[in-house]
Amino acid sequence: MAYFAFMQQQGQEFIFEVTDEARIQKARDILAGKEKNEIHVHGRLIKRRQPYNPKWDFHLDPATISFFMMAIEVCDANMQYVQDHLDEAGGAFLPGAHWCPWDSRLVREVTP
C-alpha cells in the first residue's frame, strides 16, 4: 500500500490510500511525468475520517481508486464542498458516492 496527496485549485490537500500495485505504479508515473493523460483521481467516498487524512470527515475507498482524463460532471466537486455536504453524498449529490474532482492534481507520495 501507498499514500498519495492531490490538490485542487483552491489549494487544499487530500490524502488517499492505494492498495493495488498497478495503481500505485500509475500514481508514481503521474508524479514522475511519465503519465500525462489519465492524471486526475477518482474513487468512491466513505463517510469516515482516516488517520492519514485527518482534515476531512471522509476518505476514498482504496479498492476503488483510479485515474482519469475526462469524467462526467455529476461526480465533480471540490473537497470543501464535499465536506460541507457530506450528508447528501451518495444521493443526487455524487450518485453512488463516486467522486472525481476534475481539477485534482497529484502532488506527492506521502510517507505514513
Q: What is the pLDDT of residues 50-67, one digit of tens each?
A: 999 999 999 999 999 999
Radius of gyration of the chain (CA): 13
| DSSP bridge partners of 29 | none
DSSP designation for 37: S
Q: What is the pLDDT of residues 64-80, one digit of tens each?
A: 999 998 887 889 999 99
Q: What is the pLDDT of residues 87-112, one digit of tens each?
A: 999 999 999 999 999 999 999 999 87
Is it the case that residue 34 has pLDDT exceeding 90?
Answer: yes
Closest to 59 (Cα-Cα) out of 22, 102, 29, 89: 89
Backbone phi and psi for residue 39, each to the nearest 5 degrees, phi listed first:
-120, -5
Once rounded to an integer, what is the mean pLDDT over residues 40-47?
Answer: 96
Coil/strand/helix, residue 40: strand
